[in-house]
A and B are shown apart, each in its own frame.
Chain A
């Protein structure tokens, strides 16, 4: 059970949402409130017990989940107005704007004007406090990511209109450019990067592409039929659907970088010497070699021998350039 500092705002958010919309799907509410449907049901049950003395039907919050999966609010025992934001909440919006800007989302402009409107109606001291805090919380962007995603809007649009795209893609694994036609199905965003999942006409299968590796893209007149169901999770992580060619590897990290390795790879395990051991499945490509070589000898592929040798050769090539 959540504690009051998060629970009360969440309960009020739920009631407020229903005051304006009357009814909303359980699944959508759970997603937007970032809780499980079971937690949401527990919240709804709790709220249905809340109200005023003498706690008769007319004094209790009338909220329930219908058989149709819709959550309804049928009275106004509790009807909170829009509330002033805390410094942290208002600064949070600005930070989300910084993230959207850094990633190159086309909605950045609308977000900026929405935040400006909201800040105008904050109490002057709240507005000042939020701005002060927003100057202290920021986003660091790596030098090679500074431009954001150029083709985000184009791909979003292509997904919506089921339009195939022709693109020049830099394959990190092969370290080579390719020209491909892609039927884009879904956009996937993670903490680290943006991807598009789609059917690749060149390889004739569904694959994941990093947006920052798309060097050129153009919408075509060709249309495709998207699959009825596609789970983005199936194509990410270390056991993706298109991962038939992946191999199991074991990587050892030196004691000096143990903590760093654990932070970089959630699947890694600490070893008694202060180092770490990471067992995972990877595509044995140049991308993996780079990843290991970038530890400068503090990471060592123990097995399999072929991958170990591949990493050695890659490092040797780099040495030869100096």
Chain B
């Protein structure tokens, strides 16, 4: 089925792309794969036209009272004017394809873009120096979900989704106005207005089950916050957080770990050198949970100095880890 459809669409495109004049319905009917009956042909052709338009091919109908109507691709909206790229730029685009290929959504979009530009096989085959290791078992459903979300974001469509929140709260149905998406490590997150909580929320896309548009019609369903930039939300998530915020958190880096500080390239931190060569890093505002779990991954050379409440929480956190690994048979 799918194969026959692909062939029919390629034939139709071949016909439309090669035509200098409007293509008549009669010549389209000669293509393989179209049903013979007038009614059945009409329905099939309507569906194919819609599919081509969805794929970005501007199929238009021309004709008037006297003449039979014909079909054309609108050249000006179809073709990309020639772009002269330097060899370095061509190589850089090939790199973009490879880096993007590691991430669901990005890879497909970049690949399609380069395919349209005729840039497949354009760069010298990847230098033997770089290898990519794609994550194992990326699911097709995740890719489809991300495409659907991206399309809803681009069009301003409200979506209905089922969400499995952390902490055993079960699955809830939500209606969300999707503002944006971001990738963090290996995961994707949706930022949007959650009508259930009546607030802006972040959803990890892999925890979304069912997903569908909540409304009908062609227009946008909502207006995003003015001047929305996903980076602002990402920053708020990583540094500020949605719930509590702690001001002036101080993290101490032992001399052995001072090298890590050179990687904290953010205007939100100030660094002071301690007498022993260690560094005191002050975070203007921070999300206490995020800060604590980040510090926990850094090990023995990095400790939370203050404020006292956060320091106490860190202690409790590590005590729990210690207790979980107490010798069996003793107090757990």
Residue numbers of A with Cβ under 8 A of B are 1-14, 16-21, 24-25, 28-29, 31-34, 46-47, 49-53, 55, 61, 77-93, 95-97, 99-100, 103, 105, 107-111, 113-114, 117-118, 120-123, 129, 132-133, 135-147, 156, 159-160, 170, 175-177, 186-192, 212, 215, 232-233, 236, 255-257, 259-260, 263, 266, 274, 286, 290-301, 308-309, 311-312, 314-319, 321-322
**Chain B residue nearest to A1 in the complex (CB):** B2
B100 CB-CB contact with A under 8 Å: yes
Pairs A–B under 8 Å by Cβ, sample size 10: A4-B55, A17-B118, A34-B111, A78-B13, A90-B113, A103-B99, A111-B93, A290-B298, A297-B317, A299-B324
Question: With A53-B31, A122-B80, A188-B132 as given contacts, are A145 and B263 in contact (CB-CB < 8 Å)?
Answer: yes
The smallest beta-carbon distance between A54 and chain B, in angstroms, is 8
Task: State whether B14 touches A77 (Cβ < 8 A).
Answer: yes
Chain B 174-185 interface mask (CB, 8 Å, partner A; 1/0): 000001111111
Bound Cα distance from A300 to B110, whole angstroms: 41
Chain B contacts for A286, CB-based, 8 A: 299-300
Q: Is B9 in the interface zone, CB < 8 Å from A?
A: yes
B130–A191 contact, CB under 8 A? Answer: no
Query: Within 8 Å CB of A274, what residues of B?
Result: 168
Closest chain A CB from B65 CB (angstroms): 29
Cβ B101 vs Cβ A34 within 8 A:
yes
Residue from A97, A147, A319 whose CB has the most chain B CB atoms within 10 Å: A319
Contacts of A186 in B (CB 8 A): 128-131
- Contact status A13-B103, CB under 8 Å: no
Q: How far is the CA of A82 from the CA of B84 in the complex (A)?
A: 12
Contact status of A46 and B101, CB under 8 A, knowing A135-B229, A315-B321 = no
B54 to nearest A CB, angstroms? 7
Q: Are B11 and A52 in contact (CB under 8 A)?
A: yes
Instruction: Out of B18, B55, B265, B326, name the residue touching A312 (CB < 8 Å).
Output: B326
Q: Write out the residue numbers on chain A whose beta carbons fall within 8 Å of the beta carbon of B18.
A: 52, 77-78
Complex-state Cα separation, A256 to B324, whole angstroms: 15
**Which residues on A sit within 8 Å (CB–CB) of B113?**
85, 89-90, 92-93
In the bound complex, how far is the Cα of B58 from the Cα of A86, in angstroms?
Answer: 12
B264 on the A face (CB < 8 A): yes
Question: Which of B106, B182, B228 touches A96 (beta carbons < 8 Å)?
Answer: B106
Name the A residues within 8 Å of B31 (CB-CB).
52-53
**Do the beta carbons of B9 and A4 come within 8 Å of each other?**
yes
What B residues does A140 contact at CB under 8 A?
Answer: 182-184, 189, 234, 237-238
Residues of B within 8 A of A90 (CB): 113
Residues of chain B lying within 8 A (CB to CB) of residue A322:
303-304, 311-312, 314-315, 318
> Within 8 Å CB of B230, what residues of A?
135-138
Chain A residues closer than 8 Å to B229, beta-carbon distance: 135, 138
Output the nearest chain B residue to A105 by Cβ-Cβ distance: B95
Contact call B10/A11, Cβ cutoff below 8 A: yes
* Chain B minimum-CB-distance residue to A292: B321
Closest A residue to B181 by beta carbon equals: A137
- Which residue of A117, A142, A296 contacts B294 across the interface (Cβ within 8 Å)? A142
Say whether, besides A93-B96, A315-B325, A233 and B231 are in contact (CB < 8 Å). no
Segment touching A, from B38-46, B148-156, B193-201, B209-217: B148-156
Least Cβ–Cβ distance between A73 and chain B, in angstroms: 11
List 4 additional contacts besides A7-B6, A286-B300; criterion CB under 8 Å. Answer: A12-B116, A32-B97, A121-B80, A190-B135
Complex-state Cα separation, A117 to B82, whole angstroms: 10
Secondary structure dominating the interface of B? helix
What is the bound-complex CA distance between A84 and B80, given in angstroms?
A: 5
The contact of A118 among B111, B117, B326, by CB within 8 Å, is B117
Residues in A with CB closer than 8 Å to B14 are 50-52, 61, 77-78
- Chain A interface helix/strand/loop/mixed: helix
Chain B hits for A2, CB < 8 A: 2
Confirm or deny: B63 has a beta carbon within 8 angstroms of a beta carbon on chain A: no
Given A96-B100, A96-B106, A105-B95, A82:B118 Cβ within 8 A: yes
A80 touches B297 (CB 8 A): no
Q: Which A residues touch B223, using CB under 8 A?
A: none
CB-CB < 8 A to A296: which residues of B? Answer: 293, 296, 317-318, 320-321
CB distance from A57 to the nearest CB of B (A): 15
| A residues near B135, Cβ cutoff 8 Å | 190-191, 266
Instruction: Considering the complex, give the chain A residue whose CB is closest to the CB of B147.
Output: A88
Shortest beta-carbon distance, B206 to chain A, in Å?
Answer: 6
Looking at the complex, which one of B11, B107, B166, B293 makes contact with A34 (CB distance below 8 Å)?
A: B107
Check if B145 is an interface residue, CB within 8 A of chain A.
no
Q: Is the CB of B77 within 8 A of A84?
A: yes
Inter-subunit contact A114/B320 (CB<8 Å)? no
Question: Does B109 lie within 8 Å of A92, measured CB to CB?
Answer: yes
Chain A CB within 8 A of B141 CB: no
Stretch from B240-248, B254-262, B270-278 forming part of the interface with A: B254-262
Chain B residues with CB under 8 A of A142: 184-185, 238, 294
Query: Contact flags (1/0) for B52-89 with A, using CB distance below 8 Å?
Result: 00111000000000000000000001111111111011
**Cα–Cα distance between A32 and B325 once the two chains are bound (Å):** 48
How far apart are B124's CB and chain A's nearest CB, in angstroms?
A: 10
* Docked-complex contact B103 and A99, CB < 8 angstroms: yes
Asked whether, in the complex, the Cβ of A138 is within 8 Å of the Cβ of B231, the reply is yes
Return the chain B residue nearest A300 by Cβ.
Answer: B324
**Which residues of chain B are within 8 angstroms of A315 by Cβ–Cβ distance?**
318-319, 321-322, 325
Of A21, A85, A91, which is within 8 A of B116 by CB?
A85
Kindly state the separation between the CA atoms of A248 and B2 in the bound complex, as whole angstroms: 45
Contacts of B25 in A (CB 8 A): none
**CA of A204 to CA of B164 in the docked complex: distance in angstroms?**
48
Q: Which residue of A lies closest to B109 (CB)?
A: A92
Asked whether B3 lies within 8 Å of A46 as measured between CB atoms, the reply is yes
Q: Are B132 and A20 in contact (CB under 8 A)?
A: no
Q: Which of A105, A293, A301, A309 contacts B296 (CB 8 A)?
A: A293
